Amino acid sequence: MIEQFLMGLSVVLQPEILIYAFAGVIIGQLIGVLPGIGAITAISLLLPVTFYLDATSSMIMLAGIYYGSQYGGSIASILLNLPGTPSSVVTCLDGYPVAQNGRAGLALFVAAFSSFVGGMIGVSILVLAAIPMTHIALRFGAPEYAMLVVLGLLAASLVGTGSQLRSFAMVLVGIALGIVGADATTGFYRYVAMPEFADGISLVSLAMGLFGVSEIINNAAKRDRTAPKIKVNMRDIIPTRAEARSLGGPILRGSSIGSFFGALPGTGAAIASFMAYATEKRFSRTPEKFGKGHLPGLAAPESANNAASQTGFIPTLTLGIPGDAVMALIIGALILNGIIPGPRLMVDQPMLFWGVIASFFVGNIILLLINIPLIRLWVLLLRIPYQKLYPVIIVMICVGVYSHRTSVTDVVLTLAFGILGYLMKSHRFEPAPVLLGFVLGPLLEDNFRRTMLIYRGDFMVFLERPISAVLFGCTATLILFSIYSTIKKHRHRETPHAVKQR
């Protein structure tokens, strides 16, 4: 595998090919920074260009756009509390507070570095373990997905910082929003008030509205918006030794979680980032620090979403099966070039296969080298008074959301979610759990019903299948552990109380 990787590297490092890698990641980064415009828009616009290029260059460029956008998405999240992509939503939770505390440069550095490590670990898994990962992914049928989502929902109910009750209510609201549309199992229309809702509410509208527009409404009319003190020296951008040490674990865990969810079709960077964040918070000794500017809470999701965007190529490259809509586009580009994606790709087109993988390696390095110097530029952006900034952001969100499905309804919906998010914030409801419920709810319902349909209503199938049983075990353990620690907390509280009463 290593020799083949080196062969791939020799393919990429030719100047003509390198240009496309460079172009791809730059465009991807730009797309990621712009809120609302996603990789899918960019790739579909560049598809005609691939008619004139050879397969390898096309793939390398389009792939660069895909994982490059994960680098850019965190920038707006950190600086403006505005996610550039749905997978950057979690980055807002701790990234923005760090910037608000005056250390925007540090946040951007940590994000870039975590993204780089996550991406590299993803690439390594791609190189070393693509086939085994594929086999594992194929063992995940409907029961396994259902159990995974249950585990995910439980673990991620910790994402919010406010009261547990309110967070859970928001998860339910998110699930409710995810229900809108045609039911996947029967095609029945649920809560479809107009035909535009038939395919469900767009994730981009929800994310941009709930996080972006609500933030703008919150800040637009504030009279004195003092820009946070900005530290732009190299010294202040790099974390202290203690801080750096605290990041090792989160980055590694985040990358692993991200790599796993990336390789699993149907789940991707967004879910990976949520899971990574929740895992960090769950296993942290200081969970109360999350949401207030805690660096591990920034590093984990950032490494997760980049790892996921790399391993997302595993089903595409080893099976020819797209894991999501963007991959379908990339496969389309391959088909147009006369290449048939499938298990034979690795054997029939080794130059393409390994060239693309090697381009990921090179691309991540390019992105890191670009992003570090750019930190100063981004931080200077914060000096622009908010009064001048937010109209531009509104327009970017409008155009971005509109261009997604050429839909005016989407724009109005984004506004509606913005107003909703704003009202929620004023009533101390957290928006992040809504997104989580929105993404995971339908996944759970679809897979549970599919399980019941295929296995004819037999509940035992969840325990009979090995992976599903393991996940069930983890879920049960998690529930028991939570009950245990809640009891422990109550005991601690009772003792000082009892002492007081004497």
Partner 1 sequence: MQIRDHSQSNIFHRAASGGVLLVIGLGMLVIGWNYPTGQLTQMGPGYVPRAIAVMICAIALVMIITDITGATIAKPSKIQWRSLIFVSASMLIFAFLVDVAGLVPSVFLAVIVSMLADREAKPLSILIYATLATSAGWLLFLVVLELPIPAFWRWS
Partner 2 sequence: MLRTLLTAVPITLALALPTFAQDSFPDRSLRIVHGFGPGGNADTVSRIMAEQMTQGLGEPVVVESRPGAGGTVASGYVSGEDPDGYTMQLLVGGHAVAAALYNSLPFEPVDDYTFLSTLGQFPFFIAARSGEYASIDALIEAALAEPGSIVIGHSGVGSTQHLTGELLALETGADFIHVPYQGGAAASTALMGGEVDLIIDTGTVIRGQAEAGVYDILAVTSADRWPDAPDVPTVSETVADGFDVISWTALGAPAGLPENVEATLSAEIARVMAMDEVQTQIAALGARPQGSTGAELKALIERQIAVWTEVIDTAEIERR
Residues of this chain that bind partner 2 (CB under 8 A):
40-41, 43-44, 47-48, 51, 138-142, 182-189, 195-196, 198-199, 265-266, 315, 319-322, 325-326, 328-332, 335-336, 338, 340-345, 405-407, 446, 450, 453-454
Phi, psi values for residue 478, rounded to 5°: -60, -45
Closer to partner 1 by Cβ: residue 12 or 401: 401
Q: How far apart are CA 88 and CA 238, in angstroms?
A: 22
Binding site for partner 1 (CB under 8 A): 37, 41-42, 45, 165-166, 168-169, 172-173, 175-176, 179, 183, 185-186, 188, 190-191, 213, 216-223, 387-388, 390-392, 394-395, 398-399, 402-403, 406, 408, 411-412, 414-415, 418-419, 422-423, 425-429, 441, 445, 448-449, 452, 457, 459
Closer to partner 2 by Cβ: residue 168 or 189: 189
Residue 485 interface partner, choices partner 2, partner 1, none, CB cut-off 5-8 Å depending on type = none
Helix, strand counts (H, E) of the chain: 23, 2
Shortest distance, CB of residue 24 to partner 2, whole angstroms? 16
Residue 22 interface partner, choices partner 2, partner 1, none, CB cut-off 5-8 Å depending on type = none
Shortest distance, CB of residue 315 to partner 2, whole angstroms? 7
Q: How far apart are CA 501 and CA 206, in angstroms?
A: 50
Per-residue buried b or exposed e for 93-121, using 16+ beta carbons within 10 Å of the residue's own CB: bbbbbbbbeebbbbbbbbbbbbbbbbbbb
Residue written as token pair 């797209």: 322
Shortest distance, CB of residue 406 to partner 1, whole angstroms? 7
Amino acid occupying residue 188: F
Provide the angle, in degrees to the nearest 10, between the axes of the packed helices 89-98 and 104-138: 160
Q: What is the DSSP string of 316-373?
A: HHHH---SSHHHHHHHHHHHHTT---STTHHHH-HHHHHHHHHHHHHHHHHHHHHHHH
Closer to partner 2 by Cβ: residue 140 or 378: 140
Residue 394 interface partner, choices partner 2, partner 1, none, CB cut-off 5-8 Å depending on type = partner 1
Closer to partner 1 by Cβ: residue 96 or 417: 417
Closer to partner 1 by Cβ: residue 143 or 315: 143
Shortest distance, CB of residue 442 to partner 1, whole angstroms? 9
CB 329 within 8 A of CB 321: no
Q: Which of 337, 326, 323, 468 is closest to 404 using CA atoms?
A: 326
Residue 329 interface partner, choices partner 1, partner 2, none, CB cut-off 5-8 Å depending on type = partner 2
Q: How many CA atoms lie within 13 A of 54 on its CB side?
A: 9
Closer to partner 2 by Cβ: residue 60 or 329: 329
- Longest CA–CA span in the chain (Å) reads 85
Closer to partner 2 by Cβ: residue 282 or 405: 405
**Token pair for 124:** 């390594």
CB 134 within 8 A of CB 263: yes
Residue 218 interface partner, choices partner 1, partner 2, none, CB cut-off 5-8 Å depending on type = partner 1
Residue 325 interface partner, choices partner 1, partner 2, none, CB cut-off 5-8 Å depending on type = partner 2
Q: How far apart are CA 269 and CA 302, in angstroms?
A: 9
Residue 411 interface partner, choices partner 1, partner 2, none, CB cut-off 5-8 Å depending on type = partner 1
Shortest distance, CB of residue 27 to partner 2, whole angstroms? 15
